[in-house]
Structure 1
Amino acid sequence: MKVFLGLTRNWAKIGLLLLLLCISGCNTLKKVGEDELLLTKNSIIVDNEKINSSEIKGLITQKPNSSVLGYPLKLNLYNLAKENPDSSFQDWLQRKEKREKRLNNLLSEKQVNRLRESFMVKGASEFLKRIGEPPVTIDTSETNKSINKLKAYYNSKGYFNNVGTYEILDGERKKRAKIEYQITLNKPYVIDTIQKNISSPELDSIYKSSSVKSYVKQGEQFDLDKFTMERERLTTLFRNSGVYNFQESSINYDILRDTTIAADDQLMDVQLNIKKFRSTSDSTDTNTPYKVARHKKINIYADYDISGGTDTLNSISYENYNIYYRNKLRYRPKALTDAIFFEKDSIYRDLDRIRTYRQITNLNTFKYPNVEFIPDATQTELETNIYLAAKPKYSLNLNFDVTHSNIQQVGTAFSATVITRNVFGGAETLNVSARGSIGLLNDSGPTDATFTSELGGDVNITFPRIWLPFNTEQIIPYYMLPQSRLSAGTNFQRNIGLDKQSLNSILSYNWSPTDRIKNNIELLNVEFVRNVNTDNFYNVYRNTFSNLDEIADQFQDDPQYAPYFEPIQEEGEEPRLSIPEGANNFARYVLNDSIPVSREDRDIVNSIEERRRRLTENNLIFATNFTHTKNSKSGINDLDFYQYRIKLESAGGMLSMLTNVIPFNKNPEGQNLVFGVPFSQYVKTEFDYIRHWEIGGGQVIAFRSFSGLAIPYGNSDNVPFVRSYFAGGSNDNRAWNAYELGPGSTDNINDFNEANLKLALNLEYRFPIAGDVKGALFADAGNIWNVFDNETNPDAIFSGFSSLGDIALGTGLGLRYDFTYFVFRLDVGFKTYNPAKIGSDRWFDGYNLKKAVFNIGINYPF
C-alpha cells in the first residue's frame, strides 16, 4: 500500500520524465521517405484574401498531423513504433497459452524470456500505431480532390466560373512543405426573375401569403444553401397550414438560362416547382393535388393495448374529444384533453402534433404516444387517433455511488425511490425516496471521528400544470410543459461539521417556452437547519481554535486562569484551552474585559466569537427565487454553444412584512424569532455564463464566468452558511481545495472559508490525446469576499476595484477518459498567483508538485 501511495505521489514526475524522453528521442521525419514531403500547413487564398473559415478549411481532404500546442504528439507516438512488427504477433495473441507451454518444453528460460520480450515490443508497436498518426505526406491526387471540393463549394455560392490552382511551397526545414490553394472567383451569377409552377391552388394561396419571407429573392446572388433553407421553410409552412401529408421531395427548382445571351451576362431565371402528392401505397390514384385538411373527429384511446384491439372499449365525450377506455376510466378527462393540442374543426398543424408528443411525454404517465391521421375520400377531413399506453403504476429506482472528496478518503452512497404515477387521476407523479451514505474521513478531517454518515428522505409530488387557485393557461399555455412540484424532506448528518439536521419544504413551478429556455420559480423554499453538536465547534474549526489558543498562551502560567486549560498529561506538553468550556469561557471573559488583552487581541477574539455564534446558531430560511436558463446546444455532439443562468432570490421578506401584524418574540440582539429561531433576511443574485468554441480536430476552448452576491438586511447581519459562497474545489479554482481560498487576501484563516460575494473566471483548452483519452490545460481565476455584512477584517472585505488585486489565479493540466456516458477527470492545479502571500511571493510560490492540488471529478467542470 505504501509503495502504491509513493507511486501516486510521484506519478507526475515520472510522467513528465517519460514525456521529455519521448520528445527528445523522437524524430518527426523518421518515417517520411526520401522522395516525400511532410505536410505542415494548408492555406487558402481566395481573390488574394486569406480564408480562415473552419467550414471552408474542412473541405481540404489532406490535413497536417494534429498537434498539441504546436507539438505533433500523435505523430511522434506513431514514430516510436517498430518499423515492421512481425505479422505473427496477432496469431501469438490468439494462441498464447498453447505457445507458452510449447516454448517451456522446447526452449531454455533465457530464450523464452527473449522471445517474450520480442512479442512485447511488437505489441507496444501495434498499440502506438493505433493511438498515433502516420506522417501526412503530400499526395497530389488528394490535393486535386481538395481543389475540386473548393471549386464545388464556390459553385454553390454562385461563382460558376471560378478557377482553382495550388502551389507546393518549401518549408522552413528540410523534407517539409506547405500547400497554398488559390481560388479566383470571377463574376458571380445573380437571380434575375423567380417563376412558380404550383400544382395545388391551395398551396399556391398559402405560398403567396408568405412569399415575402422567402430566402430566394430576386436580385440576390445565387446561393444553394438558401434554396435548401427555402425548401425547409415551405415544408414547415404547408404542414402548419393544414397540409398534413406534405412531402419536401415535392419541391424542386429549375435554373433557366438563355444560351443565346452574351457570355458575360450572369443573370439567371429560377422556377419553383411544387408537384402533386405522390402516394407510396398501391392505390391507383398516385398523384393528387395537396389539400388543406381539418380535424373532424378526435379520438383518445386512454388504455391502448396493441394486442387487445379497440372493439370492446367504453367511451365518453368531453369537450369535442372522444375518450375510449376499458372497464373504468382511470384519468380525469381534462388531464387527457389538456395534453392534446388538436381541436375539432381546426386545420391541421404539424406544430400541434409536436406539442402533443412533448406534453404527453411530460405527463410521465404514458409511454411515447402513437398518433394516427385517417383522411376521408376528399382528403379534407381527418379522423385523428391518439393511442396512449400507460406506464406501470409503480416503479422502483435504486442507485449506488462511490464518492471521494477533500474531506472523505472514500465514501459510499445509496438511494431508493418509489414512483407512483397518476396518484389523483390527473397524471400526478409521487416520488418517495430514502438515501444514506457512509464515508471514511481523512486523517486531516475536521474532527477526530473516523467515519461520517448521512441519512435522509424526501416526498415529492409533481403536477403537470401550474397549481394555483386561478387559471394561468393564458400566461403559461400547456405547450410550455408547465409543472408544479411540492416537496418535503429531512436530512441527518453526523461526524462532520456540527452534526446538522435539516428540514426543507419547496413549492415550485417550472415551464419551458422553447426547447432551449427554461424558467423556474420557487414560490416558497423553507429550510430549517439545526446544529446538533454545537459543543464540537472548536474541534471542527481547528484554525479558529488555534488562533484563540495562541492568544490564551500568555495566560497559561497564571494559576488564576488554570481552569480554562486542560490538565497536562505528559511532561513537556504545552497547556491548551479545554473544549468547549475553557475556550467559550475564555472568549466570554475577554469580551467583558475580565481578562486583560491588547486591543488587537480583543478584536481577534471578538471576530472568533461572532463566527462561533454565527456557525452554531440554527437557521430558518423562508425564501422565494426565480431562475432563468438558456442553452443553445443543439445536441450531444454540438461543441460550439453557449448557455447562461440568471437567479434572483429573496429571503425573509414575507415574514418581515408580518412583523407589524404579528408580535414576534425577540432575542437579546433584537432579532425577530419564529419558533425560537431568528429568521434569515437577505437578497441574492447570480449570473453564470458558459461559452464553448470548437476549433477543429476535436479541440475546444471552454470559458466560464460566475458572479454572485448576497446582501443581508433587516433581521440579519450576515448570510446563512448554507447560502453563502466558497471558492476552490474540482469545479471551481482547482489550485485550491474546496473552502480553502479566501476571503480576499486572508490566508486560510478558517477551516471552511465562506463569504457573500464571489467572482470566478475559468478558461480551459481541451484536446484529444489518443482514442478516448483527452487532455486539458486550464486557468482558473477568482475569489470570495465579504461585503455589506458584519465582517471587520479589512483583508476579507471587498472595498472596490482595488480588491480585484486579490483575485487568485490557478493554472494546471488535466487528463480525462471518455466513457461515452460520462467522463472521468483528473486535474492537477498549481497556485500561480496567491493573494494571501506578500509582494513577489504571490507569484509561482506554489508552483511545484509538492504543493499541487489533485482533483478527481466526473464529467467536465463546465
Structure 2
Amino acid sequence: MYCLSSCSNTRYLQNGQKLYTGSKLEIEKSPEITANESKDLKEQMEELLRPVPNSSFLGMRIKLYIYNKTKTDKTTGIKHWLNQKFGEPPVLVSDVNLAKNSEVLQGYLQNNSYFQAGVNGSLDTTAKKGSAVYNILAGPSYHIASVSFPKGKDSLRSAINKATRRSILRKGKKYNLDDIKNERVRIDNRLKNKGFYFFSPENLLVKVDSTVGKHQVDMDMIVKPETPDRARKIYTIDSIFIYPGYSLRDTGRHKSIMEHYGWYNVVDPHHTIKPYAFKNTVLLHPGDTYSRQLHNNSINRMINLGPYKFVKNKFVQHEEDSAKLDVYYYLTPYKGKSLQLELQGRTTSANFMGSQININWKNRNAFKGAEAFTIGLFGSTDLQMGGSTKGNNVYQGGIKTGITWPRFISPFNFKSDNAYIPHTNLTLGYSINRRVKLYTLNSFTGSFGYEWRENAKRSHQLNLINITYVNPTGVSAAYADSVKHSQNPTLAHVIDKQFTFGPSYSYTVTNTAQSYKRNTYYYNAAIDLSANLYGLISGANADKGHIKELFGQPFNQYVKIENEFRYFRRISRKSKLAARLMAGVGIPYGNSTILPYSKQFFIGGSNSLRGFRARSLGPGTYNVADAYAGSDFFPDQSGDIKIEGTVEYRPHIFGFMEGAVFTDFGNIWLFNANDGQPGGVFNGQFLNQMAADVGVGLRFDLTVLILRLDLGMPIRKPWLPKGDRWVFDQIDFGSNSWRKDNLIFNIAIGYPF
C-alpha cells in the first residue's frame, strides 16, 4: 500500500521534478533553551512553512493518488469531478523557497525574544523526492527588565495609567512582539470605554532598549507627539437615531418624520415596528460618556432582536469641533415571514429505518414588537426491518407553536447591559405516536418561561411552568394481554397516563465557541420539578394508596436533576480528544413511585453506548433479552437514575474525512425496586454494574451536515455473573453468530456530543 501512494505517485512526475515530502526543523541544543521550549517552537514554526506538502494518511498520499489517476483534459464528467473535488496536485521541491522560509522562521524567533537567532535552510533529495531541512540556532531569550507608561495629569495620560493595572507587559516576562501589539489594543479598548472615541492603537509607541545587558530589555510606552487633538478628547452622546427599515437605496436621514421615544428617536415612515421594541437594545443615553462596550452590546442586541439581518452604525460630531456625538443605527430587515422545509433520514441499532419531514413557518415581527411567532409541523415514519418484532412500525406527527418576546414579561424590572437580550417564551404543542400493533400515545405540552445570558459563556433558562399530559389510546389486545401476563412493569408503564406540571431550571457554562483554545469545556445542570407543592398540600402518598387528582387526573410528583460535562482537548491542528460524563437522578415521591415514562432515562444507541442496541440496556443487572426470549415484545428499558460516560479520539484522516476511536460506559437504575426487573434498583454495587463498549468510526463533513458511521461492540455486560462481566475472552470476529449479537453498526447525523 505504501508503494501505491509513493511509487505510483512519483511515476507521474515529469523529468527533473521531485515530490516535496515535507520539512524538518533542527534546533541546536543549548543550555539556554529547554527541551519543552524547543518542542513548542517547532510546533509553532512548522505552521509557518510554505508550501504545505501533499496530505497523507498512514504514509499514503491518497488525495494525490486520486489526482493522478483521474487527471484528464476534459472539463466535465466524473473523472474531472473526482479530480477537482477530491484530488490534490503534487507539491514539488521546486516550489520551496528556502531563503524566504528561513527569513520567516528567523523573524518569528526574533519577534518571540530570540534576538540572536539564525536559520539556515537546505534540501535533502533523492531521484524523485525531496525534503527541506532548517538548522536553527535560537540563542538566548530576552526578558523584560522594566516597563514605563506615559506620565502626566491630562485626561488621556491619566486614563492610560489607570488602564495599565492589568498590563500584558510585565517585568520578568519574555519579550514578545505580539504582546506589545495586544497591549496597545488592550489600552485602546479601555480608553474607548472612557470616551476617547477617536483614539487608536497606532497613537501609542513602545520603545525597546535591548542594550541593558543580561539578555534583558527596557520598554517605554509613549503617546506619539503627532496624535491629533480630537484623539485626546473625551466624547459624550448627544442624540440617538434608529432607522428600522433601512436599505441601500436610502440616502436621506428623514429627521422630519422621526418619532421620539424615551431617550432615542425612531425614523420609520412605514411604521414597520413599534418604537418601544428598541427599549432593551439602545444602551447608550444622551449625556453618557461614549463607551465602545455599550455601543457593541447595543449592536449585538439589535441583531439578536430578530427581525434584522444587518445593523450598521455611524457616529457624527454633533457640531464641528464639539465633544458630542450623534449616533445613527441603520437596520436592514429580513423578510417578515419565512417557510422552511427539512427532510431527514435515519437508522437505529434496533432495526428501525426512518424518515422525517419538518415544515416550519416563522413571523419575525408578529405584533410589531419584534415578537417571533412560529408554527412547526412534523411527520415521521420508522419501519422495523428485521428481528422478531418486524412490522411494529412507528408513525409520529404533531404541531408545535410558540411566541418569543425579546424582553422579560414580568412584574419585576430586570436590567442588564450585556450583549444579549433576555427572552420570554410561550410554547404549546401536540404530538401523536402510533406504534403499529401495540398502542397510540397522544401528548399535549405547554410551557412559559425565560431565557437569558450573563455573558458569552453562561446562560440560564427558567420555565415557570411546564405542563405535559400523555393519554394512551388504541392499545391492542395483544399488547394488553402481554401486559397482563408479563412480570415486567415496563410494558404497563409505557401506556400509563402522565400528567406533570411545575417549574424547571437549566444552567449552562461553556467556552467551546473559543475554538482557538487547546482545552475547551461544556457543563449543563438542570432541575425539573412536578407537583411538589400541590402534592404536599393535598397529602398525596402513593405508598399508602392515597392517590390524588387534579382536574380529574392523577398527577406525577418528582424531583429530577441532571448534570452533563464535556471536555475537548486539541491534540493537533485538526485532531482532538473528546470526553463526556453525565449523571442524572429522578426521585419519585408522594403521588408517584416511579418517574413518568417520558421523564425517565434511557441508555444505548447511536448517541449513547454505541456497542449496545438503542434503549436495550439495564436497569442494573436486568437483561430484557433473557426475560423476553421468544417473545414478540422487547420493551425499551428505562430508569430513574443514569450514569454515562464516553472518551473519544477524533483524528483527522484527510480532507472531509475524520476518524474516531471510542469507549463508552454507563447504565441506568430504578429508584424503587420491583419484582419484575430483578437487579434493577440502584445500590452500593453500581460501579460493578457498569456496561462498557469500544468501537471505531468515520465522520464525513459534507458541509451541510456531518454523516457519522460508528461500529461498536460490548466489552462488559452487567447482566452476567460477577467475575464474568468483562467479555474480552469471548471476542470472536470469525464467528457469524458472535458478530450478529455483538457488532452494532450506527448511522447518525452529527457528532454524538
- TM-score, normalized by length of structure 1? 0.74
Distance in 2 of aligned mates of 1:337 and 1:678: 44
- Is 2:288 the partner of 1:365? no
1:292 counterpart (234, 252, 257): 234
> 1:804 is matched with which residue?
687
- Is 2:507 the partner of 1:522? no
> 2:44 is matched with which residue?
58
1:10-89 → structure 2 map (5 Å cutoff): 22=1, 45=29, 47=31, 49-51=34-36, 54=40, 56-60=42-46, 61=49, 71-74=58-61
- Is 2:637 the partner of 1:773? no
Distance in 1 of aligned mates of 2:246 and 2:404: 24
> 2:355 is matched with which residue?
412
2:155 counterpart (192, 197, 202): 202
- Is 2:746 the partner of 1:855? yes
- Decide whether the 8 Å contact of 1:717 with 1:790 is kept in 2: no
SS of 1:210's equivalent in the other structure is helix
Cα shift at 1:78: 5.9
Cα shift at 1:521: 0.9
Distance in 1 of aligned mates of 2:304 and 2:65: 54
> 1:481 is matched with which residue?
421
Rate the CA distance shift 1:294–1:139 in 2: closer, same or farther, 3 A: closer
After superposition, the CA RMSD in angstroms is 4.2
Write the deviation string for residues 704-757 of structure 1: whole angstroms up to 9, x where unpaired.
121111121221111111111111111111111210122223323453111122
Mean CA deviation greater in 233-242 or 301-310? 301-310
Cα shift at 1:669: 3.2
- Is 2:358 the partner of 1:431? no
1:188 counterpart (138, 142, 148): 142
Cα shift at 1:507: 0.8
Amino acid at match of 1:495: R
Write the deviation string for residues 451-504 of structure 1: whole angstroms up to 9, x where unpaired.
53222112211111111122222xx55744100101111111213563110000
Mean CA deviation greater in 818-827 or 504-513? 818-827
Cα shift at 1:222: 2.8
Distance in 1 of aligned mates of 2:22 and 2:249: 63
> 2:473 is matched with which residue?
532
Write the deviation string for residues 542-600 of structure 1: whole angstroms up to 9, x where unpaired.
xxxxxxxxxxxxxxxxxxxxxxxxxxxxxxxxxxxxxx45x566x4xxxxxxxxxxxxx
- TM-score, normalized by length of structure 2? 0.83
Cα shift at 1:524: 0.9
> 1:384 is matched with which residue?
327
- Decide whether the 8 Å contact of 1:38 with 1:176 is kept in 2: yes
Rate the CA distance shift 1:205–1:96 in 2: closer, same or farther, 3 A: closer
Distance in 2 of aligned mates of 1:43 and 1:652: 69
Cα shift at 1:643: 1.5
1:355 counterpart (290, 297, 322): 297
Distance in 2 of aligned mates of 1:125 and 1:509: 50
- Decide whether the 8 Å contact of 1:421 with 1:429 is kept in 2: yes
Distance in 2 of aligned mates of 1:427 and 1:338: 11
- Decide whether the 8 Å contact of 2:281 with 2:298 is kept in 1: yes
- Decide whether the 8 Å contact of 1:499 with 1:532 is kept in 2: yes
Rate the CA distance shift 1:658–1:49 in 2: closer, same or farther, 3 A: same
Rate the CA distance shift 1:140–1:323 in 2: closer, same or farther, 3 A: closer
Amino acid at match of 1:673: E
> 1:556 is matched with which residue?
none
1:495 counterpart (419, 422, 435): 435
SS of 1:360's equivalent in the other structure is helix
SS of 2:443's equivalent in the other structure is strand
Mean CA deviation greater in 409-418 or 38-47? 38-47
SS of 1:494's equivalent in the other structure is strand
1:745 counterpart (621, 624, 627): 621
Amino acid at match of 1:249: E
- Is 2:110 the partner of 1:155? yes
- Is 2:622 the partner of 1:679? no
- Decide whether the 8 Å contact of 1:398 with 1:416 is kept in 2: yes
Rate the CA distance shift 1:79–1:818 in 2: closer, same or farther, 3 A: closer
Amino acid at match of 1:845: Q
- Decide whether the 8 Å contact of 2:717 with 2:725 is kept in 1: no
Cα shift at 1:773: 2.2
Distance in 1 of aligned mates of 2:352 and 2:86: 38
Could you tell me which runs of 5 or more consecutive residues in structure 1 were left unpaired when the two chains were aligned: 1-21, 98-119, 170-174, 279-286, 540-579, 588-604
- Decide whether the 8 Å contact of 1:56 with 1:150 is kept in 2: no
- Decide whether the 8 Å contact of 1:825 with 1:859 is kept in 2: yes
Mean CA deviation greater in 208-217 or 341-350? 208-217
Amino acid at match of 2:431: N
Distance in 2 of aligned mates of 1:786 and 1:498: 24
SS of 1:829's equivalent in the other structure is strand
- Decide whether the 8 Å contact of 1:643 with 1:690 is kept in 2: yes
Amino acid at match of 1:324: V
> 1:646 is matched with which residue?
525
2:406 counterpart (443, 464, 475): 464
Distance in 2 of aligned mates of 1:80 and 1:294: 62
Amino acid at match of 1:315: M
- Decide whether the 8 Å contact of 1:43 with 1:180 is kept in 2: yes
- Is 2:201 the partner of 1:248? yes
Rate the CA distance shift 1:762–1:612 in 2: closer, same or farther, 3 A: closer
Mean CA deviation greater in 773-782 or 632-641? 632-641
Distance in 1 of aligned mates of 2:694 and 2:261: 64
> 1:545 is matched with which residue?
none
> 2:534 is matched with which residue?
655
1:278-357 → structure 2 map (5 Å cutoff): 288-307=230-249, 309-311=252-254, 313-326=256-269, 328=271, 330-331=273-274, 333-357=275-299
- Is 2:702 the partner of 1:819? yes
- Is 2:571 the partner of 1:716? no
Amino acid at match of 1:855: N
Amino acid at match of 2:559: V
Cα shift at 1:329: 7.4
Amino acid at match of 2:365: N
Write the deviation string for residues 231-288 of structure 1: whole angstroms up to 9, x where unpaired.
1211111111112233222223222466xx7x6574534233345557xxxxxxxx75
Rate the CA distance shift 1:313–1:795 in 2: closer, same or farther, 3 A: same
- Is 2:493 the partner of 1:614? yes
Distance in 2 of aligned mates of 1:192 and 1:530: 75
What is the aligned length? 721
- Decide whether the 8 Å contact of 2:66 with 2:83 is kept in 1: no
Write the deviation string for residues 205-230 of structure 1: whole angstroms up to 9, x where unpaired.
21122232222245654332321221
Identity value in percent: 21
Distance in 1 of aligned mates of 2:302 and 2:577: 38
> 2:631 is matched with which residue?
none
Rate the CA distance shift 1:799–1:471 in 2: closer, same or farther, 3 A: same
Cα shift at 1:645: 1.2
Rate the CA distance shift 1:443–1:470 in 2: closer, same or farther, 3 A: same
- Decide whether the 8 Å contact of 2:558 with 2:592 is kept in 1: yes
Distance in 1 of aligned mates of 2:729 and 2:690: 14
Distance in 2 of aligned mates of 1:653 and 1:129: 59
> 1:236 is matched with which residue?
189
